[in-house]
C-alpha cells in the first residue's frame, strides 16, 4: 500500500484547513449568517476503508458529489446526516421557503454548499500544486448511507485506489454539525500530489 | 422600467438568489437559463440588455455560450459568475467578449456594481 508519512498528512491537513477557512467565509456569505468550519482529523486510506469510515449503518444521510477537472482529476463527496442537512436548510432562513430535503430549491441550496466546500478544498490544493483545477456541477443523493457512500466513492473512480478523508465540523446557527469530506484523486493526480509532497511510495 | 437581465446558472438556488438581488436593485429579470445552450435560445428570444453567465454548467458551459451569443450579437453585454479558482476560465470568457465577472457566492453590492458598470 502507498504510505503517507505523518509529515505529508500534516501538509494535506493544512491544505484542508486553508480550504475550510475559505469555505467558511464563502458559506457565511451564502447563508447570510456566521459559519465556521474546522477539520478535527484527516485520514489517508484505501477506498474500502474510506467507505467504512463514511458509512453510518441504518442512518439516512445526504451526499453531494462533484467531479474534478483540469490538472487535478478525481471525485469528491461531502456527506451529512439528515438532521445536519435539515439544520443547514434552516440556517438559510427566509431565502428558502421550503426546508424539505426533497424540495428542488432546498436540494439546490445543499448542492451549492457542497460545491463551495469541495471548491474551496480544490482551490487550496491547486494553489499548493501551482496547478489549475475546478469542480464539475454537483449532484445530490438522499438515501441510507450504506446505499450510496460506497457506490459514489467507487463509481467513476476505476483508476483510484485511495481516499483522503477529512472529518469536518461545521458551526452553523449555534450548532456544531459533523460531516465528512472524501477526496478520491485519479491515479495520475494522486501521483502528482505525492510528488509535490515529496513522497516516494511504499 | 429597469434594464432587462437574463440570469444563467445551472443551480436553481443561485438563479433565485441572483434574480432576487437584481430585482431588489431595480433591474428586471426577464428570463433564466440552466445551461449555455438554453441561454443562447433565450437570448435570441428575449433580447435582454444584460446576461449574467455562470461558467461551469452541464450541456454547454458559459464560455462557449458567450462565444455563441457574441457571434449572434457582437454588442451583447455579459457578466460572468465564477466560483473560486476559475481565474483562467474568467480570462478566457473576457477574451471571448464578457465585460466583467462576479465571484460566487454573491455579494449584493458587487453584483449591482458589476451589472451597472457593464450596462453603462
pLDDT at A106: 97
Angle at A47 between CA A62 and CA A21, to 5 degrees: 55
Domains of chain B listed by start with CATH number? 4-119 (3.40.50.2300)
What's the whole-number mean pLDDT along residues A141-145? 95
pLDDT at A191: 87
Predicted confidence band at A154 (pLDDT cuts at 50, 70, 90)?
A: confident
Sequence length of chain B is 120
Q: What range defines the domain where residue A116 resides? A: 6-199
Q: Does residue A158 carry a pLDDT above 80?
A: no
What's the number of domains chain A is made of?
A: 1
Q: Which residues of B touch A136 (CB under 8 A)?
A: 56
Is A35 an interface residue toward B (CB < 8 Å)? no
Q: Does residue A157 carry a pLDDT above 70?
A: no
Closest C-alpha to B56, from A32, A77, A70 = A70
ipTM of this model?
0.90
pLDDT at A156: 62
Q: Which residues of A touch B56 (CB under 8 A)?
A: 134-137
The helix, strand and coil proportions of chain B, stated in percent and rounded to the nearest 5, come to 45, 20, 30
Residue A132 is assigned to a structural domain of this protein: yes
Residue A32 is assigned to a structural domain of this protein: yes
**Residue ranges, chain B, pLDDT below 70:** 1
Cell numbers that stand for B22 in this block: 437584481
Average pLDDT, chain A: 90
Q: Contact, A174 vs A71, CB < 8 A?
A: no
Residue A33 is assigned to a structural domain of this protein: yes
Contact assignment for B16 to A120 by CB distance below 8 Å: no
Is A68 an interface residue toward B (CB < 8 Å)? no
Residue A117 is assigned to a structural domain of this protein: yes
What's the whole-number mean pLDDT along residues A105-113? 96
Q: Does residue A20 carry a pLDDT above 70?
A: yes
Q: Which of B9, B11, B13, B91 to mutate to test the interface with A (most CBs of A within 10 A)?
A: B13
Contact assignment for A134 to B56 by CB distance below 8 Å: yes
Residue A1 is assigned to a structural domain of this protein: no
Cell numbers that stand for A44 in this block: 489517508
* CATH code for the domain of A41: 3.40.1550.10
Amino acid at each position: 500500500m502507498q504510505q503517507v508519512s505523518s509529515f505529508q498528512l500534516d501538509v494535506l491537513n493544512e491544505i484542508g484547513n486553508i480550504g475550510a477557512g475559505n469555505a467558511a467565509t464563502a458559506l457565511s456569505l451564502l447563508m447570510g449568517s456566521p459559519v465556521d468550519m474546522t477539520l478535527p482529523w484527516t485520514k489517508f486510506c484505501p477506498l474500502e476503508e474510506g467507505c467504512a469510515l463514511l458509512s453510518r449503518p441504518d442512518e439516512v444521510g445526504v451526499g453531494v458529489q462533484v467531479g474534478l477537472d483540469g490538472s487535478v482529476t478525481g471525485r469528491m463527496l461531502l456527506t451529512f446526516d439528515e438532521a445536519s442537512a435539515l439544520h443547514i436548510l434552516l440556517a438559510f432562513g427566509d431565502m428558502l421557503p421550503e426546508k424539505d430535503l426533497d424540495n428542488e430549491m432546498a436540494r439546490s441550496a445543499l448542492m451549492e454548499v457542497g460545491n463551495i466546500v469541495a471548491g474551496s478544498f480544490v482551490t487550496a490544493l491547486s494553489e499548493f500544486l501551482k496547478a489549475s483545477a475546478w469542480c464539475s456541477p454537483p449532484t445530490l443523493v438522499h438515501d441510507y448511507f450504506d446505499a450510496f457512500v460506497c457506490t459514489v466513492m467507487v463509481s467513476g473512480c476505476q483508476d483510484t485506489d485511495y481516499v483522503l478523508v477529512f472529518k469536518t465540523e461545521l458551526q452553523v446557527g449555534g450548532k456544531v454539525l459533523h460531516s465528512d469530506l472524501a477526496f478520491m484523486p485519479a491515479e495520475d493526480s494522486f501521483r502528482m500530489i505525492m510528488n509535490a509532497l515529496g513522497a516516494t511510495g511504499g | 422600467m429597469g434594464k432587462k437581465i437574463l440570469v444563467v446558472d445551472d443551480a436553481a438556488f443561485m438563479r433565485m438568489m441572483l434574480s432576487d438581488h437584481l430585482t431588489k436593485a431595480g433591474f428586471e429579470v426577464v428570463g433564466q437559463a440552466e445551461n449555455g445552450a438554453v441561454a443562447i435560445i433565450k437570448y435570441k428570444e428575449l433580447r435582454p440588455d444584460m446576461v449574467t453567465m455562470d461558467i461551469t454548467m452541464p450541456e454547454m458551459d458559459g464560455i462557449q455560450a458567450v462565444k455563441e451569443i457574441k457571434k449572434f450579437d457582437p454588442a451583447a453585454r455579459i457578466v460572468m459568475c465564477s466560483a473560486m479558482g476559475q481565474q483562467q476560465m474568467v480570462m478566457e470568457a473576457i477574451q471571448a467578449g464578457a465585460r466583467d465577472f462576479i465571484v460566487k457566492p454573491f455579494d449584493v453590492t458587487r453584483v449591482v456594481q458589476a451589472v451597472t458598470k457593464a450596462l453603462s
